[in-house]
Every structure is written in structure tokens, then in C-alpha cells.
Structure 1
Amino acid sequence: MDQLRRRLLAGAVGGLLAAGVAGRAAAAPATGTVTDPAAAAWGRVPRIRRRITPPRFPGRTFPITDHGAAGDGGTMCTQAFRDTIAACSAAGGGRVLVPAGTYLTGAIHLADDVELHLEAGATIKFSRDPADYLPVVHTRYEGIELMNYSPFIYAHGRTNVAITGDGVIDGQADAEHWWDWSNDPPPTEGPDKKLLASMAEEGVPVAERVFGEGHHLRPNLIQLYQCRNVLIEGVTVKDSPMWNIHPVLCTNVTVRGVTVDSPHGPNNDGCDPESCVDVLIERCEFNTGDDCVAIKAGKNADGRRVNAPSTNVLVDSCVMRDGNGGVTIGSETTGGVSWVFAWNCTMSSPRLERAVRIKTNPERGGYVRDVYVKDITVEQAADAVVEVALNYENKHTGPYFPEVGRIDIQRLRAGRAPRAFNLIGNPDNPIRGVRVTNSVFEEMTEDDVVTDVTGLVLRNVWVNGHRV
């Protein structure tokens, strides 16, 4: 098996460069000063981080209990949240305070200069009645814009918004509420997903893509749409209908010290910045039913129409437990993803499938490039430690080949997993450039898969005690 592993990793399948020759060629210093491209790329991080500054708010506080909210877990507080946010905004902004207690509510819509703050012991518990998330709002469902049920906490076109504190945001989704829409038998989201996709392909205006009542496309728990200066800090979020935290088309986003505890729901991604610029995700803990962090940029025809990338995304010192992927890009890559940096993260679970994952296919198009990962510890994974797959959903052909390359991984240490690498390009569209250095994969039980990759460089990489 070790001979086969070395052959796959150093072979020439579909144009794969020989790791020994390519690695030595890449390492050979030229005459004069040589700049390491990865070191130059990491030099961008301090500049990006300086631009990402959390919003600040006036020193006014507006308790929701002053507007009729009761923390008994049974009184509907939707109007109290609405009135408190309106009063805070009218005064010029400040803190909307959720005191200790359990507050049942429908959709919460944030306004400019409003910080929604949950005290320790406070829980916002969201209604299980879909009618409490009407009227429909402008949102995105899996990378496609539409009019649908409101996300549970939502802001559109706002400046300076925050969700902070030590409390809990509970979506209350379970197998009989929201999650059941993902499964057969009907009612299920399958027909509505196909309808939405066909509308986007046909160029139906977003205002006419009306779903909501009578349809079954699940809303997100937190979605901030076309917002500037966003902070989500300290809170615990759990049991979303699908994606938990979803900034879309936002600039200057900080997600800090957040716990996502949602391991059982379908598509319960942790944090999915989509078509966003300047994003910091730091010191968060993810335990999810899908990808922990998934960076996205719109899907297919609608992604080409909007044509907005995700760029300058920093993932620092996070813990990933259950999930399909730890740090993931895709599959919605159509607007393009670039300048992603992840470091000092710890990942481990028998139900964490992959640590570093890039997924797309020839229907998505777009690009994924300039992805830099270092100092990652993976104690255990259920599939490949590193996956770059251009055949997501088993689609190998299509009219929009994605451009994927310039991926650099340094100082990754993995304990147990079936394989170190699952790198699947396409004969007409290879993965162009994966560099792994100073990394150790200790107990890999299966052969790696490496097809249609050009520019693979492995330098000082050890697998099962052998240098490859």
C-alpha cells in the first residue's frame, strides 16, 4: 500500500507532476533574492485584519422587557422585539437588551446601529410555526436569490449591526419541524429546489421568485444581507432549520467567540460567508450537521448574474468537531473565492469527514484560488484529511469548468483518517497547483486518490512514517 501511495502521489496521472522532481525544482533557489509566494501571501493577513473592525454603538440600552416581552418561554415576544428595535433605531442606535429568561418569538429584523445583546441566562427561542416568518423577504437559498420565509434573525442593507452576549439563540428545529422538509416523503423541499433553479436559469426576476407559504425551502437561523460592519460575538446558536450563520454580500464581518452546537440537522452548516469581503472568523467552536465553515459565492446562473466574489476571509484559532468539512470552500463557487487564510485550528471527531475541503463542479464555474492553510491539527477524520474535488454531486462534465489552484498547506498534522489526500480534477480541467509542506499524516488506512492535478508539490510530507 505504501508503494501505491507513493506512486499515486508522485505519478503522472492526468498531468500530475512528479512530487520528487517538481518538489526539488520548486525548492531550488534562483540566483539573487527569491520571495516565497506563500510567505508573501501570508504578509497580506495583517493588512486585511486591520481593515476588519467591529462596529461600535451608542451607550443607550433598550430592554425588550420595557416593551412587553416576558421571559417565560410561552409568551410570544415578536412585537416586543420589533418595538424595541424600532425605539433603539429611532433614538440613533444602541443596545437592545435581552435579559435572563426564555423569549419565544418569530422573525427578528435588525436596523442600523442596533446591537442585539443576550445576557447570560437569556435564550431566544424561535417559533416552529412557518407563518411567524412571513411576509417573505429577499434572501438566498443555497446560492440563489429569491423571496422566501424570513431568516430567524435578519437584516437587509443595514450598517452597524451586531448580535452579542453570553446567551443562546435556539432555532428549535428538529426531525418534526423544519428538518423534515429535507426528506421524503412529501412535503419536501426537492420540487421547490428544482423550481427555484429553473427560475434562475430562465432569468426570472428575483421579485417574481416567490416561495414562502405553500413551499418548503428552509430559512437560515441568522442571515445578514448586504450589510456593512457586522459583529456576531459570544453567543451560542443551535438547531437551525439549515445554515446557522449566513452573511451574504456583506463587508467588514467579525464572527468571534461563537459556539455553533447543531450536529444533528441536515445542512446545518456553522458559518457560511457568501459573496463577502473582509471576514474574520476567530476563536469559534463548531459542532455541526454539515460543513463547519463554508465560504461561498453564489451558484450557477444566479451566481453569474450577481457575480460577487468572497475574498479576504480569515479563519483563526477555531475548533471543529462534527461536520462534513472543517474549513470548506464551495460548492457554490460561481462568483469566485480568493485570499482565504486559515490557521491555528484544531479539528477532530469520528464524524468530521474532512479537515480542508474544496468542492465544486463543471456547472458552478467561477474560481477558487489563493487558499492558504497552516498550523492545523487533525486528531481524527472520517474521510480524506485534504480534499479538492471538482466533481461535486458526481458531476464530471458541464459548460462552466471552475478554475481551482494556488492552494498552499503548511504544518498540518493529522492523526487517524482513511486517507491523506482526495484530489479529483477533470481531464479537461485539472486542479492547477496544490502545495503541501512540512506536514505529517500518521495513521492513514487507505490509498490516496489523485487524478487530473498539475503542479502538485509535496515537500517534507510524511505519511505512515514514510516521506513521500
Structure 2
Amino acid sequence: MRTIWIGLVVLLCASCASSSLKERLDSSLLQYDEVGAAVMPEAIATVQSPFFTHDFKRPTFPERIDSLAPGEDVIQAGIDRLASAGGGTLVLTKGDYLSGRIELKSHINLYFEDGAVITFKSEIEDFLPVVYTRNEGIELYSLGACIYANDAVNIAITGKGKLIGPGEGSIRERTMTHDVIENIVSSDTPIGDRIYDGKTAEFIFPPAMIAPINCKQVFIEGLTLERSAFWNVVPTFCEDVIIRGVQVYSKGIPRGDGIDIESSKNVLVEYCSLYTGDDCIAIKAGRGYDGLRAARPSENIVVRYCLAGEGHGGITLGSETAGMIKNLYVHDCAFDGTDVGIRFKTRRPRGGGGQHIVFENIRMNIGKSALRWDMLGSSTHVGAQASRDFAVEVNALTPKFSDVTIDNILIESTRDCIQVEGIPESRLENVTISNLHATGKRYLAIKDAKDFLIKDSEIYCDDCVIDSVNVTGLVQQNVNIITQ
């Protein structure tokens, strides 16, 4: 159904419209060069979240300091020596290091001098034996990560160095790409039997760049990451995590996500600059029945002062959300050139969703969709369930998003300002968008939603008609819609 909603909506022509809202937003929101790694301060400012309080602070380590000279496979031995002495800081001096997988231990700060570069090896055997990890929301035993930690406390990776992921070799040649992971790894198989070492199957699941799992007090700061084989920074089942001043360059790399928060609690991401082959920052919480079994949400998260320079999504929630996303606060960020700005992703066979989510003070220049709810997915990944006409009864894997607030948003350019695809049996609920100034080709397409409020906003659009299907409670208050 194509509808123009009137009442409290004012339809104007471009020549007679004022734009005081745009001027206010443009002067108050941070510019693209005022966020990201280049402007990171030394101090960590107090977090102001509407959902939780937590004292995020810089960690301390034993005063013991060791240093390494450049070489091949020297880093793990240095970490092990320092860990056996009770911890401290391991300094990588300037130069080139070649390494297989590195496992960080408790109370260790792996510090990079400016000019220290680790290039990771490219063969499967350089990442054996397999370790417990989570790949795209499924727990299993595989190659883990280039820098890995399990059940560690008080760990850090800091400095001005660079990590370069595996190049051409068996890791990239044998990465699983032929199907979605839930069709490969059965949720009925015990986790200890899910072994992918290059021998049990023809394929492997590739290593992320930095992926601590089951860790507490994780601090990552100042690094540059390039040429990842998979996701870049991925804290999983972790608590008390700070990621700041990280730069990720993975353009052209499929699944080259920048930062993925996986089922972790009390997380701060700030002043990061991301140029990626997939989502810049993603919040995830497990996939399908495996995620329901783990039942670990991603919760109490703040993302602030980050720059998404290139990628599929600036901030993406999902698509693996079985454990739920809760208490997420994103503010004072800028997206300059991503396909989508803010994206909510679920899939019928994957479960979960999210609630208590706030975005505010965001500037964006977007290629496709600025505000996007994508809850059905594509038939490539979920088959017939990607169609809203495919009848599905509510079940344990039915996802849901609700209680979302989006405020003070300047969309400088986009194709679709607001695009909503909910699920017929689980409609998107209780969304409020306010103080939005958007310039785009199309204003609003919305399916399967209820209680969706847009207020105190200005929309400049070529096509200002609203497409709506199965929507109740769509309200616009003091919205100026300006035909360009």
C-alpha cells in the first residue's frame, strides 16, 4: 500500500522550506575529522549511558618489562616467560615479526613500539592445535585467532604497531564459503566434537585477528589492522572490555568486519577508524539453537566518537542475535561512505533480537540506506524464510527488535532515508525517531511494524510517498516533508 500520511505532517516545496534543524545539527554534531583514531585523547572519559554505570579505566600491570627484537616466532616464547614470572609488559621493538598464532596470558600487556609490525603466517599448520572459539555465532574448535586468549584476566594489546593478517596460502584457500555455518555445524553435535583442523573436513574456519574468549578486563588500544582473513577485533563471552583508537583496513575482504562484540558485557568502543570489507562495527549474540543454548547477551555497551569510513554498515546489530542485544548506547559517531548507516539485522532461523537501544548525535553520508531494519534476509542464506509471504509460526528462534530510540541524526545524503522490513509474525515495535534531518531519494518504506513514531524532523526527498504494509501506530508529529 502506498500512502501519504498527513495530519501533523507538513508537505513543502524545497524553495519555501526553512532548515533551522539542519543548521542546528550541522553546528552541534561532530564533523568527520573530529572522530576516529586520529583525535583520540589519552584519558578515558566517564561513560554516560541511559542504561548502566561502569567505571571503564586504563588497566595496570606488574612493573616487570621485557622486550623482544624482530624475528620469527619469538613472541609466544616471550609471553610465556613473562607469564611464568607473574605478568608484566612485553615490548615489541621496532621492526618486522613473522608469527603463527599468539596466545595472550593473564596480566600481560603486549605493547608495540611505533614501527613494530607482525605479519601472520598463511598456512593452517601455523595455527594448530585447534582451540575453542566461536565463529559466526557457533562454538567450535578451529584456528582461533591471530592473537587469541581464553579464560584470561587483565590482558592488553597496545601501542602504535600494526598487525597484518595471513596472505595467500592454505588458510585462505580452504576457508569455508560454500554454505552458512548453521548448515555445516549441527547444534546437536557436542562442542568438543566440532573440530575443524584441516583434517576432519576439506575446509577450515579462518582465524580472526584479535579474538579473546571468556576473558575479563580486556584492553585494546592504538593498533592498526590490515589484511584480515576474517573478522578483526572480536571479544566473545568477555566482560569489562575497552577498544579504543584502533584502525582497521580490510576493504575488499569478504567478511572483513572491523569490530564485532559477541555476547560480551560492559564494553566501551571509542575513537576507532574503520575502512572495511563488511560491517564496520557489529553487535552480535550467537546464532540459532547454539546461541539459545549459550544464552549470553551482548549488553551494557557504549560506542562513541568512532568513524566508519567505508563498509557495509556503520553500526550493525546482528544478524546473529540469539542471546539478545540489550542496553546499547551509540553516540557522537560519523559514517562517511558506508552502504548503510544504522542497521538492525535478524533472520527467522537465527533467533534473538534486541531491546533498549539508543542512537544519538550521528552524522552520516550513506550510499544506500541510512536507517535500515533488515529482519528477513535473503534467500541465499535462509531460503524461503526470507519471504514475508512464507508463513512461519512463532517459535524459539523467532527474533524481535523493540524499544529503539534514535535522536539528533543528520543524514547528509542517502538513497533511502528510512527502510523497515520487519517480520509478519514478530513486528518491529516501539521505535521513536526524533530530530532527524535527512536528504535522500526516498523517504520511508515500512513493513510489519507497530508503534513507530517520527517527530520534530525534516525530510528532503525526491519520492516522498510512504510505502507501508502491515503497519499500525505509525505517527508523525511536526515532520516537514520537502519535495526536492
TM-score range, shorter chain: 0.7 to 0.9
Distance 1:322 1:139 in 2: 28
Matches within 5 A, 1:40-79: 45=49, 48=52, 50-65=54-69, 69-70=70-71, 77-78=72-73
Return the letter of the residue paired with 2:309.
R
Distance 2:167 2:455 in 1: 46
Deviation at 1:49, TM superposition (A): 5.5
1:185 matched residue in structure 2: none
Deviation at 1:19, TM superposition (A): 7.8
Distance 1:241 1:383 in 2: 26
Return the letter of the residue paired with 2:99.
T
2:457 matched residue in structure 1: 461
Return the letter of the residue paired with 1:61.
I
Structure 2 vs 1, CA of residues 367 and 318 (structure 1 numbering), >3 Å: closer, same or farther? same
Q: Show CA shifts across 1:13-38 (max 9, x none).
A: xxxxx986xxxxxxxxxxxxxxxxxx
Distance 1:212 1:353 in 2: 35
Return the letter of the residue paired with 1:381.
I
1:362 matched residue in structure 2: 348
Percent sequence identity over aligned pairs: 28
442, 446, 452: which one aligns with 2:448: 452
Structure 2 vs 1, CA of residues 286 and 177 (structure 1 numbering), >3 Å: closer, same or farther? farther
Paired residues, number: 414
Q: Show CA shifts across 1:237-296 (max 9, x none).
A: 111111000000000000011111111210000100100000000011011011111000
Deviation at 1:192, TM superposition (A): 8.3
Distance 1:195 1:116 in 2: 37
Asked if the contact 2:360–2:409 (Cα under 8 Å) also holds between the matched residues in 1, the reply is yes
218, 241, 265: which one aligns with 1:230: 218
2:198 is the counterpart of 1:204: no
Return the letter of the residue paired with 1:411.
N
2:379 is the counterpart of 1:415: no
2:98 is the counterpart of 1:104: yes
Asked if the contact 2:174–2:204 (Cα under 8 Å) also holds between the matched residues in 1, the reply is yes
Asked if the contact 2:270–2:303 (Cα under 8 Å) also holds between the matched residues in 1, the reply is yes
* Structure 2 length-normalised TM: 0.81
Q: Show CA shifts across 1:211-238 (max 9, x none).
A: 1214232121110000000000001111
420, 435, 445: which one aligns with 2:432: 435
Distance 1:136 1:263 in 2: 28
Distance 2:52 2:96 in 1: 38
- The structure with the greater share of residues assigned to strand is 2
2:324 matched residue in structure 1: 336
- The structure with the greater share of residues assigned to helix is 1
Asked if the contact 1:330–1:358 (Cα under 8 Å) also holds between the matched residues in 2, the reply is yes
2:302 is the counterpart of 1:317: no
**Long gaps (5+) in structure 2:** 10-45, 380-385, 462-478
**Long gaps (5+) in structure 1:** 12-17, 21-41, 71-76, 183-187
Distance 2:432 2:223 in 1: 36
Structure 2 vs 1, CA of residues 417 and 181 (structure 1 numbering), >3 Å: closer, same or farther? farther
287, 295, 301: which one aligns with 1:299: 287
Asked if the contact 1:255–1:281 (Cα under 8 Å) also holds between the matched residues in 2, the reply is yes
- Report SS of the residue matched to 2:205: coil
Distance 2:429 2:344 in 1: 13
Deviation at 1:64, TM superposition (A): 2.3
- Report SS of the residue matched to 2:54: helix
Distance 1:323 1:242 in 2: 14
- Report SS of the residue matched to 2:442: coil
Distance 2:448 2:309 in 1: 31
* Structure 1 length-normalised TM: 0.84
Distance 1:172 1:413 in 2: 39
Deviation at 1:47, TM superposition (A): 8.0
Distance 1:413 1:178 in 2: 42
